[in-house]
Structure formats: structure tokens, C-alpha cells
Amino acid sequence: MSNKMKKKLTPVQQEYQAFAKEREPARPVAVNSLRAFLVGGAICVIGQGISSYFLWNFNFTEKTVGNPTVAVLILIAVILTATGIYDHIAQWAGAGSAVPVTGFANSIASAAIEHRSEGFVLGVGGNMFKLAGAVIIYGVFAAFVIALLKSIITMLGGV
Amino acid sequence: MEAYLTAFVVGGLICVIGQLLMDVGKLTPAHTMSTLVVAGAVLAGLGLYEPLIDFAGAGATVPITSFGNSLAHGAMAEAESTGIVGILTGIFEVTSAGISAAIIFGFIASLLVRAKG
């Protein structure tokens, strides 16, 4: 809770906040990080395997092979989400399964499946990007600002 | 074989950064992923992400940071060849595969599967 919000609380509420914070279970940061490292690394190794396959069997170069790799990983992640396996992996791995692109696919597929009961247009269509939307919006806006800055710098004859 | 090792270590370390943002920084997963995407775009702007991909292969292209890199990279490349409008036309050029695949497969999944419970 930010300091600004803290000031608005009554003394009793502040006391309770301190009381609750004392009893909050400590997060096992080291164990969580190790799990994230192992699972995240393993997903990247699978990605590397798919990359090698595309490099050997199709007309891709080191530069372009990222795209089909990501597409295949997304397909795998959606299948694992639909069968409910991805949830189990995510519970154990934390950020290890959320940070790779498979986590992005998982957030889209699980939102789509979850909101199916609200109808296909307003439910599935409207909620698919509930979590992934934030990623796309901030990614696109950051990319826009950066590309704009770079264009201006180049135009001014800099760097 | 070495490519697999670097992919494992670099990909794993990016995930550890994400885990630390969640555990120590107390961010939600959505905040963590947004932060990493923006970080990837900034690294692309500084010209640092391409060397990382050369070094780590899938270890750098699979984490969500590469999504930010691709967005910024597509925008900058197109802006260089067609001028400032290229930022708008190029931004999704490289990431098309990821977003289309996620939408299409996600939608098919929602047609085939019902939520449990």
C-alpha cells in the first residue's frame, strides 16, 4: 500500500494493516526463483529445439526463425491450457511459465475459455485480451515512443 | 549443444527477473509482463536486444521481452525505409505471427473446450 493511501486510514485501520503485515507469510523468494529459472529455462530449450528443426527443414534464417518458433510454442501452450495441464505447471513455476511467450498464449486461451458462457461475441471476443491487452498496449506504446525518438535523433543527424 | 545451454541459462534468468518483480517488487503478473515488454522495447531501442538474440537464440526470443523487442524493431526498421509513417505501419510487422497465432488458437480452444467447475 502506498504512503498516500496509508494517510487516509483511521488509526484503527493503520493498526490492522501493521497487524496483517506482521502475519503475512514470507514469500520463499529463493525457491520461487529457482523454480522460475528451471521451468523458464526448459521452455526456452524446447523453443531452441523447435528453432533448430525449422532451420534444418525449412527456408528460415537465424533472423526469421523466431516467428514460426513462437507460433508453435503458442499452439502447444493453448493445447496445454485447454486440457488444464498449463494451470498445474503455472502453479509450480510462477514466473517461469508466465514470462515466456507461452504465458501470453495461456492468458489469452484461458480468458477465452472462461468467458465462453457469456456468449461468443461479448464473452469470448470481449474478454480474450483481458490480461494480454495490457502487454500489447504497453508494448506498442513503448515501441512507438522509442521508434519516434530514434527517427528524430536520426533526422537531426545524431548517433 | 551449446546453443541449448545458453538458451536455458538466459531464458531462465529472464524468468527469475520476472519472479523477483512479483515476489520482491510485489507486482501482479500483468504488471510484471507489461514491465518486461517495455524493458524489451527499450533494449531494442538501445540496440542491445539483437546481440542478446545472437548470443542466446531461443533464450532471448521466447520470453515476453522479445515481444517488446519485435514491436520496437519492426517500427524502427520501417521508419528507416519509409519515413515517420513507417512507425505505424511497421509496428506489428514482426509480431504478426505471435498475435495471430494466439488469437486463432485461443478462439479455436474456446470453441472446443468448456470451462470446468
Q: What is the average pLDDT across A17-37? A: 88
pLDDT of B115 reads 80
A44, A104, A149: residue with CB nearest B8: A44
pLDDT, averaged across chain A:
90
Please, are residues B68 and A101 in contact by the beta-carbon 8 Å criterion?
no
State the helix-helix crossing angle for A85-93 and A66-82, rounded to 10 degrees.
110
A98, A136, A150: residue with CB nearest B29: A98
Residue-range definition of the domain harbouring residue B57: 2-112
Please, are residues B77 and B102 in contact by the beta-carbon 8 Å criterion?
no
pLDDT of A147 reads 94
pLDDT 10s digit of each residue in chain B, 117 long?
Answer: 789 999 999 999 999 999 999 999 989 999 999 999 999 999 999 999 999 999 999 999 999 999 999 999 999 999 989 988 999 999 998 888 889 999 999 999 999 988 875
pTM score over 0.90 = no
Measured between CA atoms, the residue of chain B closest to residue A50 is: B58
A49, A103, A124: residue with CB nearest B64: A103
Q: What is the average pLDDT across A86-108? A: 94
pLDDT of A159 reads 58
Instruction: Report residue A138 CA to chain centroid gap.
Output: 12
Q: How far is A102 from chain B (nearest CA, A)?
A: 8
A156, three cell numbers: 537531426
pLDDT of A135 reads 94
CA distance A153 to A157: 6
Backbone angles phi, psi at A83, to 5 degrees: -90, -5
Q: What is the average pLDDT across A81-90? A: 93
Domain assignment present for B31 = yes
Evaluate if residue A78 carries a pLDDT over 90.
Answer: yes
Domain assignment present for B99 = yes
Measured between CA atoms, the residue of chain A closest to residue B57 is: A48
* Residues recorded for chain B: 117
Measure the CA angle with vertex A139, ends B59 and B63; round to 5°: 15
B116, three cell numbers: 470446468
CB pairs below 8 Å between A and B: how many?
267
Domain assignment present for B79 = yes
Domain assignment present for B58 = yes
How many separate domains does chain B show? Answer: 1
CB-CB under 8 Å, B75 with A147: yes
pLDDT of A2 reads 56
Q: Please, which pLDDT band fits residue A81 given cuts at 50, 70 and 90?
A: very high
CA distances, A134 to each of A108, A112, B62, B67, B81 (Å): 12, 16, 19, 13, 29
Percent residues over pLDDT 90 in chain A: 67
Q: Please, which pLDDT band fits residue A146 given cuts at 50, 70 and 90?
A: very high
Evaluate if residue A96 carries a pLDDT over 60.
Answer: yes
CA distance B53 to A105: 21
Sign for the CA dihedral angle at A13, A15, A19, A21 comes to positive
Enumerate the residues of chain A whose CB falls inside 8 A of the CB of residue B102: 74, 78, 104-105, 108-109, 132
Q: Please, which pLDDT band fits residue A158 given cuts at 50, 70 and 90?
A: low
- Nearest to residue A151, comparing CAs of B76, B82, B38, B39? B76
**Residue A100 bridge partners (DSSP):** B63
Domain assignment present for B117 = no
CA distance B31 to B23: 12
List pLDDT tens digits, range A43-74: 999 999 999 999 999 888 877 888 889 999 99
pLDDT of B91 reads 92
